[in-house]
Structure 1
Amino acid sequence: MKTFNVFLLVVAMLAAVSGCKNKANLDANGVPGKLLIGSYGGDNPAQYREALDPFAAYLSKKLGMEVEFFYTTDYPALIEAMRSKKIHMAHLTPYAYILATQKPGLASIVTLGIKGKPTVYHSIIFTNKKTGLKTMADVKARAKNLTLCFADPASTSGHLIPRGYLDSIGLDPDKAFKATIFAGSHAAAILSVKSEKVDVGCSTSELALEKLIREHIINREDIVILWTSPPIVNDAIAIRTDLNKDFINKVQQAYLNANHDDFEAFKKYVLLYWPNPHEMSYVPIQDSAYNQLRKIAGSIKDLKQK
């Protein structure tokens, strides 16, 4: 596979946000007339829309304005939408967030938390049990005859973290394997391995593999996990810093209070990923929480100039 250049992909905007430019205007005080929020819609944007519509209604009530979510099927589109000021906020993976903050103009305000602390998740490298691969040593020995699949180019657990790990053990993803592809999403990466279209996949355990198992789309015994990463801090909900500061604080508080003020709306979205919404809430998150991931991205040769 040719070396991936993320900024060539970032410029491709999806139709879901292409008409937002005028709607995203601010008044003289830096307050939007309508709050526009971008969210990753995965392989099933309709499912995300159904889950987030109640939360949009909750935010609308709290903020006293109309709130609308827009859905894309890739993270670079969300980054571009924020940079071009077509939306005011976005739900961004950690890697998408550090890519987006390479230029000034947005900041993290909250992330999902459990028992008052930011949630974490893990990246995994996995295979179909039929390959006979049992360890990463097996992968290294057979790499030239294996196909590798990442998720989305701007995915943390489905690209950045496993790429860094593979580099660290001497497996250049772009050279060591028979072929390396991007499936486009976590679910697609997992299903590609399940269906034997590729030999080795990269994704996240808690937010994708376990979700597909709960939904009975795959069986746990179909997949062999070859490697699990250290914990990764969860997604950032980011907002443009050119918005009115009091308004930003008001938005942050609405998120922080959501599990108490409208648990049903909060729960519906959380259940897309996590099975225990009663233990969860939004919690504040500082930009510095993502510094370790910035170091990892900076240490990967193929990503340094992206």
Structure 2
Amino acid sequence: MRVKKLMISLLGVLAVATLASCGKKDESAEGNKEEKKALVVQFVPTNNDGSMEAKTKPFAEYLSKALDREVKVTLATDYSTIVEAMASKQVDIGIMPPAAYVQAKDMDAAEAILTSQLGDNDEETGLPIEGQLTNTFKGEVLVKADSPMKELKDLKGKKIATLSPNSASGYIYPVAELKEVGVDPTTEATLTTVNDIPSEITAVLNGQMDAAFVFEGARNVFGASFGDKDLFKELKVLYLTKGDIPNDAIAVQPTMDETLKEQVKEAFLKMKDDEKGAEAMTIWSHLGYEEAADAGYDTIREYTEKAAE
């Protein structure tokens, strides 16, 4: 009987120990889960027709799997809101247009870990160059194909569709270079800010505007949005900016853990070599990423000053 009682006591002790051990494991697992908090990614959509939100799902799924944590993707309403979101630490990773990145960087609210790569375009034809990537682009001034305008200064007195004053190609660079040729578009032309590039293009096509400030290659990117209209026949490039504009920055909170920064960087660098990753990148027309050099964004600061003079 004593042996039987002793065995029962031992079994009871083992059971309690096992439950305690399981409890510790569960607590540990819960702790690890809490440590891997969800990351919030934000970007500025190239159009506001409501289609961009659905396209964020493949990207969120890819990055979530790569980082082994939940990833939430949100859309900024414009260039200034993504800067505000980074500054208030509501966003962990920003896919940031160059001028917005510089603004956030100067507020100590963003650190570029990578620069995006885009397909390069032939400046004569406006068509993509097969297999060639670039980390810069130019601003482009589009007018109707039958427009009598031939050079940049011909925009004097004209109606021009622009993007936000924080947009490098949609405002800053063309305004700065217009001033260089003796035309101040803020006083010698009519500038109208619109929500997105498709809206700019539409305004030129229907004659509401004489010109639009867009990014190089916009006719390629948005051609499918205009049904049976051939944008290469309907529109021509009046001018390409002399200044090169650095591509989007993949920026993180400067206070982000260094190990996590490296994980984020690796996840983006591997995207182009992964089928699902490559699909996810199409939301921004990105074709790859490379190490970021913050000095490459100094030209944005220079042009911003010129445009504001």
Query: Does the pair score TM above 0.5?
Result: yes
Q: What SS does the corresponding residue of 1:108 show, helix, strand or coil?
A: strand
| Matched residue type, 1:224 | K
1:223 equivalent among 214, 230, 235: 235
Q: Which amino acid aligns with 1:286?
A: A
Task: Report the residue type matching 2:206 in the other structure.
Answer: S
Question: 2:175 corresponds to which residue?
Answer: 163
Mind listing any 5+ residue stretches in structure 1 that lack a counterpart? 1-26, 275-279
| Larger proportion of helix | 2
Q: Render the CA deviation track for 1:61-94: whole Å, top value 9, x for unaligned.
A: 1211100100123111111111111111111111
Distance in 2, matches of 1:271 and 1:98, equals 22
AA aligned opposite 1:293: I
Residues 152 and 185 of structure 1: is their aligned pair in 2 closer, same or farther, counting only changes over 3 Å? farther
| Residue 110 in structure 1 maps to residue 121 in structure 2 | no
User: Among 232, 236, 256, which residue is 2:245 paired with?
Assistant: 232
1:259 aligned onto 2:272: yes
Q: Deviations over 1:236-285 (max 9, x none)?
A: 1110011111111111111111222x3223234326536xxxxx322121
Aligned residues: 262
What displacement does 1:193 show? 1.0
- Identify the residue that residue 300 of structure 1 maps to in structure 2: 307
Structure 1 residue aligned with 2:186, among 154, 169, 174? 174
RMSD in angstroms over aligned alpha carbons? 2.4
- Mapping of 1:76-225 within 5 angstroms? 76-113=80-117, 118-139=134-155, 143-144=156-157, 146-177=158-189, 179-206=190-217, 208-217=218-227, 218-219=229-230, 220-225=232-237
Distance in 2 (alpha carbons) for counterparts of 1:57 and 1:268: 9
Shift of 1:116: 9.6
Partner Cα distance (1:67, 1:282) in 2: 20
Alignment-derived partner of residue 52 in structure 1: 56
SS class of match (1:227): strand
For 1:162-202, what per-residue CA distance to the aligned partner results, in whole angstroms no more than 9, with x for missing partners? 1111111111111011x211112222212211111111211
Q: Partners of 1:147 and 1:194 in 2: how far apart? A: 13
Q: Confirm or deny: 8 A CA contact 1:45 1:72 kept in the other structure.
A: no
Structure 1 or 2, whichever has the larger Rg, is 2
Whether contact under 8 Å (2:117, 2:134) holds in the other structure is: yes
**Structure 1 residues 268, 36: CA separation in 2 closer, same or farther (over 3 Å shift)?**
closer
What is the rounded CA distance, in whole Å, between the counterparts of 2:184 and 2:219 in structure 1?
25
- Which residue pairs with 1:72 in the alignment? 76
In structure 2, do the counterparts of structure 1 residues 213 and 117 end up closer, same or farther at CA, with 3 Å as the change threshold? closer
Is residue 2:42 matched to residue 1:42?
A: no
> In the aligned structure 1, how far is the partner of 2:284 from the partner of 2:51?
9
Q: What's 1:13 paired with?
A: none
Distance 1:105 1:118 in 2: 26
Aligned to 2:282: 270
Equivalent in the alignment of 1:290:
297
**What's the secondary structure of 1:56's corresponding residue?**
helix
